[in-house]
Amino acid sequence: MPIKNRLADMHEEITGWRRHLHETPELLYEVHETAGFVVDRLREFGLTDITPGIGRTGVVAVIEGKTNTSGRVIGLRADMDALPIMEASGVDYASRTPGVMHACGHDGHTSILLGVAKYLSETRNFDGKVVLIFQPAEEGGAGGKAMCDDGLMDRWGIQEVYGLHNMPGFPVGAFAIRPGPLLASADEFEITVTGKGGHAANPHEAVDTTLVASQIVVSLQSIVARNVNPLKRVVVTVGTFQTDSNASNVIAHQVRMKGTVRTLDPDERALAEERVRRVVENTAAAFGAQAEVIWEEGYPVTVNSPQETRHAVEAARAVSDHVDDETDPIMPAEDFSFMLEQRPGAYIFLGNGDTPMCHHPAYVFDDEAIPLGCSWFAELVERRMPAA
């Protein structure tokens, strides 16, 4: 029996929570109502060990199994925040806050984990402890890191962590995962090149910043082509290039460029940063210009540990016949990576069917995926910490 009967029974109730959250989306750390809703539901389930305010607005709750001879503690994580997007999904429970939308399905993730919490608090059919982690600010605010910095892992004694994300393009009912890197690191850089502005007709009296910046853009391509191990994957993209003058007869004094570096390997990430800095600074110096690189470290690589990935695959196979355990990694980033840096664990993709992609204004979370997501978490807990 793939989906747990009890969770199938709860489908309508969980869907109701999901649609309520969808109507009331909140951004980054400002998830006050959402976190309050989560705490209220957890209390209704009879849970008492509930701690809000971890990582500013994150919520942590504990469910004890019938027994705890194993001493095992498993963390299950969901994200609560929405995106600054004007919703165009056309659903009748669309966002009531114009310009804010659950366009990444975090409403679904939170509801699935609440459903799991209700089921586990009723059944407690496991030997050990489950820690529920509801995090804020996944979308660019590093909420996962904020919770870790608040001592999440040590304070609750978490030994393994698991999370899931819906995935448009994969059929509902399908799971996809791989051991090792699953999502990329995403760092942002800003380059300011300063030459010497002047009249376009007198290049010899100027240092042509536009030419220097162009050399930099071209030279940066050599990092992927020549410095990165050809078996590894790295992307260096210069996304914007703006001269400080827009006149045809003025040599620009300054050029600003912004871009991103994506990698699937922490060593390659460090190499890419070092090479970007050297290429930029030395190319500028060779032309008599100066360059400043501001490096904003973003999310690290999301790396699934091998053993925990196997547990995740086994739980998924118990729930579904469509489990790909060697899916391709993807280059977007995910801040569950901070938790996976601290503890072994695994992150899995849950099919969302043929919908527009995440972050699209017409994206819709498919409620049919709820029982599958809930069952996967529940199976994982019950298999990993079997009751005596």
Partner 1 sequence: MPIKNRFAELLPEIAEWRQTIHAHPEIGFELDHTAPLVAEKLRAFGCDEVVTGIGETGVVGVIRGRTDSRGQVIGLRGDMDALPILEQSGAAYASQNPGVMHACGHDGHTAMLLGAAKYLAETRNFDGTVVLLFQPAEELGSGAKAMIDDGVMDRFGVKEVYGMHNMPGLPVGQFAIRPGAMLAATDEFFVEVTGRGGHAAKPNEAIDPTVTASQIILALQSIVSRNADPVEQGVLSVTSVQTSSTAYNVIPQSVKLRGTVRTHSAHMQDMIEARLGEMARSVADGFGAQAEVTYLRHVPITINAEEPTAFATGIAEAVSGGCSEAPLIMGGEDFAYMLQERPGAFIYVGNGDSAALHHPEYNFDDEAIPAGCSWFAELVERRMPTAQA
Binding region for partner 1 (CB under 8 A): 184, 186, 188-190, 199-203, 208, 210-211, 213-218, 221, 235, 237-243, 245-252, 255, 258-260, 262, 330-332
Q: Which two tokens stand for residue 339?
A: 């938790």
Please identify, using beta-carbon distances, which residue of 62 and 200 lies nearer to partner 1.
200
Least distance CB 296 / partner 1 (angstroms): 9
Phi then psi dihedrals of residue 14, to 5 deg: -65, -40
Burial of 161 (0-12, 13-18, 19+ CB in 10 A): buried
Query: Residue 277 has which token pair?
Result: 């800095």
Nearer to partner 1, 48 or 202 (CB): 202
* Residue 292 C-beta: closest distance to partner 1, Å: 16
CB of 30 to partner 1, least distance (A): 23
In angstroms, give the least distance from the CB of 170 to partner 1.
17
Other Cβ atoms less than 10 A from the Cβ of 388: the count is: 8
- For residues 354 and 364, the answer to whether their CB atoms sit within 8 Å is no
Comparison of 52 and 329: residue with beta carbon closer to partner 1: 329
On whether the CB atoms of residues 133 and 62 are closer than 8 A, the answer is no
Copy the structure tokens of residue 125: 């059919």
Q: Which is nearer to partner 1, 162 or 189 (CB)?
A: 189
Q: What are the tokens at 278?
A: 């050297």
Distance of alpha carbon 63 from alpha carbon 128, whole angstroms: 9
Nearer to partner 1, 88 or 357 (CB): 357
In angstroms, give the least distance from the CB of 362 to partner 1.
17
Of 16 and 332, nearer to partner 1 (C-beta) is 332
Q: Which residues contact 301 (CB under 8 A, 6 or more apart)?
A: 181, 183, 184, 185, 263, 264, 265, 266, 269, 337
- What minimum distance in Å lies between the beta carbon of 90 and partner 1? 25
